[in-house]
Chains A and B, each alone.
Chain A
Amino acid sequence: MNNGTALKDVVVTEYINDKNAVFSEHDGMLSMKLISSDGDKDYDRVFLHRCFPHELEDGYISVLDREQNEICMIRSLSDFSDDVRKMLERELKRRYRVSVVKRIKSVNERYGYSYWKIEDENGACEFTVRDTYRSITKISSDRIYITDVDGNRYEIPSLEALDRKSFRKIELFL
């Protein structure tokens, strides 16, 4: 079979790296200059969307313009120099806000809602979850995240690493 008909050849995706894209940041927002032989193009605000936010945090990141149209893709953050990579990581941190659960102090369930008291990287935190079982998303057998009534996410990167007391509090919901 002729390889020329392969899907990847028909659908062209532009992947960027240090050579064809220059990023800068101001006021907590990211800008990009796309360098091409047809002429450079400036985007005063771009947004980074992870294609696989659970599986691959640092790869396949779509770069979108203000109208949410894709401009190009980042295959891997490692295609960029340290400074730029850090800048991109900062942008991702601004876009994906996930609290990491360090300890679960208590979980009280009443009539379809549960009230959680936890400790995350910023200290003590309380939140309410509706329909608890359905609000816990299993990313893998060891990694989960909980979505509260407002849409905030609380991640437990490793259930195994969680202390025994905390694990017992969440065990029945898994």
Chain B
Amino acid sequence: MKPERKKDRRDFVRGAAAVLIGGAVMSAARSRSPRLVWQLDPEKCTQCGRCATHCVLAPSAVKCFHSYSICGYCDLCGGYLRPDAKSRDTGAENQLCPTAAITRTFIESPYYQYTIDEDLCIGCGICVKGCDVFGNGSMYMQVKHDLCVNCNECAIARSCPSDAFKRVPASDPYILKSDRERRIS
């Protein structure tokens, strides 16, 4: 039987050096791999409504984004007005958004601008569906990263029926619809 060698000071220094070097290597490797965050691909999104109901936050961290370079500034806006709206105005009975999170402002005949009130938006996607069916698709959903807590396993991603959620680099956290918007951001 081989007698057990007593660990001396040299062994301790070797071990400490190995731990230090290994730690440094791991730290360097980690700093090179990008930090990832959750985002949803607007091309895959089917506006099922689960972003509003499945997020761990209430209201959801998913909000409606509006691309002004795509918007037609229409009087008859499919994202703002209910399909059976009696008139094209700001009356509650004509608005599609359940929380009145979209503001309609007259610019000049026949153009109207639509802005999203992020505090009121619950991420239900009803306006996005309306805009997609009757308009240019200028409204779309995105995870807002100043609100998202970036769960390891995103509750919305787990329930998303169209696989629209994916991990993207934190340095480029949004999937914006138009090139012009991308350049501005």
A joins B in a complex: no
